[in-house]
Structure 1
Amino acid sequence: MNNEDVLADVEKHANAIIRVCSGYQPAYGLLVIRPDFSCLNPVHATLDSAFDTPPTAELGTYILGRLPAELKLMVLRELDILSFFRFRHVSRRARELSTGLWEYNLVAKHGREGLRGLLRAGLAHRFTICDLYQPLITEKCSTCDAFGGLLFLLTAERCCFTCLQSKAHYHVISPRIYAMLSVIHPARLNRKSIPSLRTVSGRYTLTTTPVNPPKRLILAEHATQALLAAKVIKEDVIQVLRSQGDEQRQRYMATTLYPWYNLKNARPEYGAGCRGCQPPRGLYLDDQAFSARGFLSHFSQCAEAQRLWAESEGGTGPLGKPECARPYSFHSFFFSNWLAI
């Protein structure tokens, strides 16, 4: 196909091209903190809705009750997530007001993995609803230009799997190991109020070997900066930490899946891989995930994807099933929300 034909097809048959030429979710979804949608279904309806019965009382006779609605919403945006949910339980009026917050409404509907991850990791008191809203509407990884399908919980940043694996920015370590390498007492880490993540049970591996996670993880970069500023450690500790390396699986323990919410078409996108770039068999940790518009840009340069499109006769003919169909539980959930642009 020449470039003009490719561009014409992309413009005319965008949804069909995505349906035909993308067909699997990269396997990193199996490694990070995984959502269990079945157990969350009873809770979902209460997250993004108010009570059916209208409120009969205001928030009180004091300052908050007398504020205009716009100022009340400004106050809610500054609350940490734990305080926000406590406020929702105060009264029907409080729940109605908090549900009407645009950022919360979007996060409660489409960013539940982030909410659940922060609550389970014991980090919800460190972030606001707006801290989750910003990565939800941001397509790119915070450290590169690739599509980011993950949320790094210790900083509430969107990231891609490649950066999660390779960047020192995402180096996590147990407080005990960090204290041992930096030759300080573990109590000093606690006194400096360095954010720590409570790990949750999970596999975090594609093998059958069970993983026994540490109880807590800290971000090595945060800990080092805080301790250097307090003159508790010296610069040579940085070299010690780099030479020691880190266990990559622990990075997965601090990360969860997180969709990108496309404001232009009001749809969440988890990202998907290209069938044309797909190796013959196996699980593909290194495959790049694309958003819908990112995939169309990739399609215009991928000869194999264009060949698949030509074989499908414009999306009308049969196409062989991928040899690597992914049998994990949330596969169909991803693609039911991904195809439309």
Structure 2
Amino acid sequence: MSSSSITIPETERDAKLRVTAYHGLDLNKKVISFQPGVHERYRIRPIISSSFPKTHLSPDLGPWLKHLPPEILVKIFLNLDIASIFTLRQTNGALRAFVTSIPEYGVLSTDALDAYLAIHRTNLAPWLTLHQVHRALISEWCTMCGAYGGFLFLPTAMRCCLRCICDKHTFQVLSLNLACRMTNFGIPKLQTPVPTWTTIPGWYGKLENTYQKKVRYVSFQHAFEAALETKGPAQVKMLIDEVAREAHRKTFEEDKARACVAIPTYEADRKKAYWGLSCRGCAMKMPRLNATGRSLRSGCKLPDGVDTVYEREEFEKHVEGCENAKWLWEKSEGGKKCVRHLEGRFSVNGGFFESRMIADGEWGY
């Protein structure tokens, strides 16, 4: 029997997660995201995550790198910025194969492909190391509040949750003009010590407003650190007050969302990545709405638990106390039967947003 025909039996734990949990895709659409199918259409994944056949490899890594042990090379590459790794990978076949073989690079280029592309397209690749991003991927918790964090704040590679992105000033971003006033630097000089990044056109924020124009920003944290080197504490405090007033702008929340991307959590012991988990049982509390869903977008409060995102062990504890989730698991007869027809439209759509609406009863399976 060939190895490709061997299937690993599903554990009861995995089956229960399959029946009772779903990933809220609607949350991903509030930050940097890419259209479904774009990775496959342009064959992005195999290009950045695979090496050439051995027959096409160059004989060695080069006159200097070939003398170093592989363990030392891996440590060097982990502390290189992602732009340099990308460039080295294109140098020759041997370097491409070596970079591809680094486990941390494999996790980023396969399990967190959206994050990898977002880092490059925002021009932050020269500022972030592979180690920084991988450290965020193997974490689970928001660095600010300790809840499950399903997002990466790109300028500082901090893992965070959507609530903190919207509410915390740590993730505040500034226009280049305001950052220049804070630091007394001109724009060319500012870009040397401070990471500047370019927004990606798309839909952002709680209401998924459209932004087509590319704008350059600086994170408040980086601008603040640079300002301390050029101004006194009193002047910096005045500038912080100015930034606080800036926070009341209508697009403030969307600006921060344009600096974030959704990421999974990678479990090194299982060699598997998983996304934040939402409860199908709690989603059944959602009222049946018309196809446009305008009553939700008008600001009505979601039922308790609908917008909560869990880590695996957290979710398993939640299911023990969720009557709807336990009912779905019972009806599935231990995961043997499909129970999607018993769910609400909310969880079937991976969360509520109009572009993926499926009318009640139109399940398509």
The bucket for the TM-score relative to the shorter chain is 0.7 to 0.9
SS in 1 for 2:217: strand
Change (3 A) 1:251 1:189: farther
How far did 1:322 drift? 1.4
Where does 1:187-336 land on structure 2 (aligned, <5 Å)?
Answer: 187=187, 190=190, 193-205=193-205, 207=207, 210-212=210-212, 215-231=215-231, 233-246=235-248, 247-278=252-283, 279-281=285-287, 282=296, 287-310=307-330, 312=332, 314-315=334-335, 318=339, 320-324=342-346, 325-326=348-349
Equivalent position of 1:7 in the other structure: none
Higher relative contact order (CA 8 A, sep 6+): 1
Matched residues in 2 for 1:49 and 1:190: separation? 37
Q: Summarize the alignment of residues 118-157 of structure 1 with structure 2, pairs less than 5 Å apart.
A: 118-157=119-158
Could you say which residue in structure 1 is the equivalent of 2:7? none
Superposed CA deviations along residues 44-78 of structure 1, whole A, max 9, x for unmatched, are 113222211343522333x3232222222222222
The answer for the alignment partner of 1:112 in structure 2 is 113
Q: CA deviation at 1:223?
A: 0.9
CA distance in 2, matches of 1:143, 1:176: 28
Distance 1:152 1:209, change over 3 A: closer
1:110: how far off? 1.1
Partner of 2:38: 39
CA 329–150 in structure 1, closer or farther in 2 if over 3 Å, else same: farther
SS in 2 for 1:203: strand
Q: Give the C-alpha shift of residue 205 in structure 1.
A: 4.6
Paired residues in the alignment total 318
**Greater shift in the superposed pair: 252-261 or 73-82:** 73-82
Equivalent residues of 2:31, 2:262 under 8 A apart = yes
Q: CA deviation at 1:263?
A: 1.9
* Equivalent residues of 1:179, 1:186 under 8 A apart: yes
Cα gap change, 1:237 to 1:209, in 2 (>3 Å): closer
- Residues 180 and 190, structure 2, Cα contact 8 Å, conserved in 1: no
CA–CA distance in structure 2, aligned partners of residues 321 and 204 of structure 1 = 28
Deviations 1:232-270 (A, max 9, x none): 633222223224325101111001111111223222111
Pairwise CA RMSD: 3.1
1:16–1:79 CA distance, 2 compared to 1 (3 A): closer
Unaligned runs of 5+ in 1: 1-11, 332-341
Is contact 2:183–2:223 with CA below 8 Å preserved after alignment? Answer: no
Summarize the alignment of residues 29-108 of structure 1 with structure 2, pairs less than 5 Å apart: 29-36=28-35, 38-41=37-40, 42-54=43-55, 55-61=57-63, 63-108=64-109
Q: CA deviation at 1:123?
A: 0.4
Please give the secondary structure, in 2, of the residue aligned with 1:57: coil
Tell me: CA distance 1:165–1:191, structure 2 relative to 1, closer, same or farther (3 Å).
Answer: closer
Give the alignment's TM-score, normalised by structure 2. Answer: 0.76
Stretch of structure 1 that moved more, 64-73 or 252-261: 64-73
Between the aligned residues of both structures, percent identity stands at: 24
Question: Residue 166 of structure 1 aligns to which amino acid in structure 2?
Answer: D
1:14 CA displacement: 2.6
2:87 and 2:355 map into 1 onto residues whose CA distance is 30
Q: CA deviation at 1:303?
A: 4.0
